[in-house]
Structure 1
Amino acid sequence: LADKEAKIEQLKAEIESCRNHDLGFKIFGTMDIWEDYNLEADEMSSDIVLFDESKLTAEDIKALLITWKTYDGVPLTKELEPVNLAGYKAHYGKGKLYLMEKGFTTDSLVSLLEKIDSDREFSPSSVIAFGYHFDSKNLRELAENLKSYANKKSIDIDFITRY
């Protein structure tokens, strides 16, 4: 009987300590498919614009990032860590680095390679780029450098371009 009473008192104390915790919650929602996303054409020609990325807002890019990170196994409730690459804002979580913004330069690439070698907490197994926001030159430069770079951590880094 004494053990049961002690256990009850212990559980009461645990419940009381949890009472002051902010357990909070987030509301997640879906959004409509972007205008012009569902292309319906009888024939393909060079005149057809498949998708006009210039119409994407900052909120659209954020929604795309959330979709990709969830697809890649990062929990929906986990926030990605911002990463500064010589003024370029990237997003990192669970071994994935997302390059979603415009403006990636050679300096950003140098900063990325230096960060991989110098930051113990930063070990991306994949770098994922939003292809519409990159010149083909930058995509090629990124892919080649990540593939051939012998980083100090000896990690293989996959480069993925998504559209």
Structure 2
Amino acid sequence: MKRISLTLAAFLAMPASAIADSLLLNCQLVKGAGFNMMTAYGKPPKDLQDQFIRDATELGIIGFFIEPPTTWEVNLSANTVVSPEESHKVLNISSASASKIEAHSTFGTGFSLNRINSRLEYSVQIGAANAASWKKAHGGTIPETLGYSYSCSPVQGLGVTGPGAVRP
């Protein structure tokens, strides 16, 4: 366990210029969205989960409630972040430094990786219009944004290449 921590610390301490093309991450969920389906209805239905799935599907918002991926490829050369679990969703890196990498998508997702403590903050925008449509149809509330926190580790032996690369 100590070896992984030292490798991670050395990797995170490297300047952004020492990191070549891709950084591969494996992340563990630390804090979920905290969304409570009970608040989504003025009067909760008998079979809450099944009804929520049907209603969210009907409104075209069910995809917002799927838990985000846990694996990521941060490609600094291409300025993209993508998960092999959802390769159709590409996020564009908006800023990258030795301490933080931020990316956003055209579909309202935010990705913020703190390279100091390897914490990933991931957000999904449901939007005010969708929240208002839900309230009108079901009398309850859904959040406009869902936020998740992850603790990440670089995949050992991969993701860091070139001069100054850290190898386990």
Q: Same fold, TM exceeding 0.5? A: no
Instruction: From the two aligned structures, give the one with the greater strand fraction.
Output: 2
- TM-score, normalised to structure 1's length? 0.29
Instruction: From the two aligned structures, give the one with the greater helix fraction.
Output: 1
Larger Rg: 1
